[in-house]
Chain A
Amino acid sequence: MALQPSDISSSNPTSLPWSRFAWLTMLATLLLISVGGLVTSRGAGLSVPDWPNSYGYSMYTFPISHWMGGILYEHSHRLLGVLVGVLTTVLAVGLWVRETSGRQRWLGVIVMTGVAGLLGRMGSWQVPIFITLAALAPVAMVWGLARFARDRQALRWLGVVAFAAVILQGTLGGLRVVWLADELGFVHGMLAQGFLVLICFIALLSGGWRNRVAPGSIAAPGLRRAWWLAVVLVVAQLGLGAAMRHRHAGLAVPDFPLAYGRVWPKTDATSLATYNRTRVEATAQRPIQSTDVILHMLHRSNAYLIAAIAAWLTFRTWRDAGRKTPAGRLTTVWLALVGIQIALGALTVWTGKSADIATLHMVTGALTLVVASAAAAAMARMCRVRPAFVEPYRRAGSGSPVWPG
């Protein structure tokens, strides 16, 4: 008896009800991100000048007759934010209760529900409380990730990370409004993507995903590194996209595949003056600067790089892991998403940055990250370098084999 379950794990992470609840939370998050994307695409981020109140009303009683123009998107985004906040709190508390007992259990429940209840009241006087809790959130997130790294069966720590992240995220969104800070919009957009990935991992891990990905079944450590590179490139791509969107300069390069009729556009002062003079913007946009053009071109270049690595990874993963394995299937989905995403990127340019297309492009980008991360994690597990065979053990009361994390 060299290996006891208790030596490795504090609990069995598999819980189908909580996995389903996490998928529901992820769906709500995806909707929240979509509406958030519309807010930015339609330039409606500041259509409600106050926060957490809305034109002086409590956000819960803001009359529907006032949900006009950009306010419709901004206010829906705020209400969906509350919904995701509530779902995340329930998920975090649920995972905590499931994996703890005694005093530890009650302490966690009281702290999390107390914080959620306090923030849920959403009065204007609460801004300092939001800021204080948001400042503490990164600490809680690092702590939670560190605890999870030590014990990969303890999903409650991922729940704590999600709970802290949702508070930070909501506060960033609010401060972006009241501080008129476009840069916070960028951080808000990026954190949203990370949050989506986190909820997806909670759903996968609580759904017993580990049991379906056999560790060390492929002897190809290079493939594992290539997948992580793909994730890094996608994150960089989302960063470039978010930077473009949150600079509010509109479409910096109006043609595709060429750029102002060239392979690489000019960015000298005279050319920029011409770009600005000849475009007829129908909405309020900042004039194009060289940074806008360069970000746009880097985004295109990186897209080609991702397409290339996607083709290569698909070929190798299908060959080494098999098409019908979880990693193989994820690869197929990912390749499809990358293809759709590049088409949507082209359409964004060809439609003159139609708000709906641009938003769809952003949401598909988020899904590309989610699937790439899941595939990379699966491959990391399958491409273990150490001797391939580890004896599975069975937990008492659980019929299915459990692989050590």
Chain B
Amino acid sequence: MLDQDEKNYHVWSYRRSFVEKFDLFEKKEELKFVRDKINEDMRNNSAWNHLFFLKFGRYKLKLQKTIDESVVSEEIEFAKEMISKAPTNPSSWNYLNGIYKILKRNIIELKAFATQFTNLIYESSVSLYAFELLAEIHKLEKNVEESKKVYELLAKTLDPVRVNYWEYKKAQLTVV
């Protein structure tokens, strides 16, 4: 029953176990391989997942306690660069958000970056992910009203397929 997609999933999974087994996390060829894959098709989510594993896998697997700030900022910059090229690409946004999530970094520092993709004049560079991030940032800044406005915009106009979800997020703002 395995289609081509599922086969690819398993190939990436083997690749990951291989890296882990022989500690190839920092091997140049492996990094080049995966960055090339992303440059070739920046929506190749399996490649993004593999990059995340190479960069943050040793930390997640508790093989190291901390990650060099230089590595972190390099990856944040890479994600930002890819987002700027294609602001609607969920893979690069998830990568950026993922870094902040596992390192418990403060997303407020992404405010200016996210805001540039919420200008509705330039429709082609508008990103739902930017709006979603901005709503989270407003919430962290205790600016519930602004956050609510963003969720309403998403629910009513920008992303009506997820109206229930945005309503849920909005309702959560007032739950303490």
The answer to whether A and B belong to the same complex is: no
